[in-house]
Amino acid sequence: TCRMDSKSARAYLDIDLNGNRAAYARACAFVEATNMRHGWSSKDLKSLGGSELARVPEAYECDYDWKDKGRIMTCLPNERIVIELFEKDCPVTVKNFKALCTGEKGKGKNSIPLHYKNCRFHRIVSGFVCQGGDFIMQNGSGGESIYGKKFKDERNGLKKKYDARGLVGMCNTGKNSNSSQFFFTFAPQPKLNGKHVLFGRIVQGMDVFDMIEKQAATTLKEDGKPNIEVVIADCGLLGPPKKK
């Protein structure tokens, strides 16, 4: 149901799983601060060679000033998800999503930035969906569109079928109640057909998406409260894919 369009707009979400970015920043700060003490060849973690890099965790664990500040990572994993947006079929929905990825509209009526950056995925249900986009309350009870109010379902988006893993749809509380919350499907979800506007799909970063389900997902019984924090650390737009 969802053919690749070479002219499609694409958005990216850089995911922070379980505070990996803070752990990496901690390692960078440690190397910079202990350069003289440990005799690193550089104050910059990125410039250290392989054997030196391997020594950093051990040095950190033995350092009384640092070891209790939290875990470290010496290499930041690539945690980017790229989404193809079905702009032609869902222009209103995609315009909203794109603007929330760039933050270009500034603050909304709640005086909170209309931006997915630093927004967490608050509900991650194994085999079902990964739900986020509530940058107002961060728990699924809020959300705000760039239009200042809830916006209507687009018919072409309702016609598409949730027949695969990695499809992107709008959350709602009934007909014509879209704001900023969205979800990814972990598997085909025919029950969502005709009820939730389907406006995109993951085209890169499926390994990151797999990791989210493996590490963070819980069951419906647990209401999908994530095992670990999954946050959109950064987001924005990419140009259409280059033709091969």
Give the residue numbers annotated as catalytic, written as ranges: 123, 128, 131, 172, 183, 192, 196
Interatomic CA distance for residues 157 and 170, integer angstroms: 10
149: CB partners within 8 A, 6+ apart: none
Interatomic CA distance for residues 226 and 123, integer angstroms: 6
Nearest to residue 87, comparing CAs of 243, 239, 244? 239
Interatomic CA distance for residues 93 and 81, integer angstroms: 19
State phi, psi for 139 to the nearest 5 degrees.
-135, 5
- What is the pairing mode between strands 167-170 and 129-132? unpaired
- What tokens were used for 157? 């988006």
Nearest to residue 67, comparing CAs of 55, 57, 78, 79? 57
Interatomic CA distance for residues 143 and 137, integer angstroms: 7
DSSP string of 179-238?
A: SS-EEEESS--GGGTTTS-EEEEEEE-HHHHHHHHHHH-B-TTTTT--SS-EEEEEEEEE
Give the type of residue at 151. F
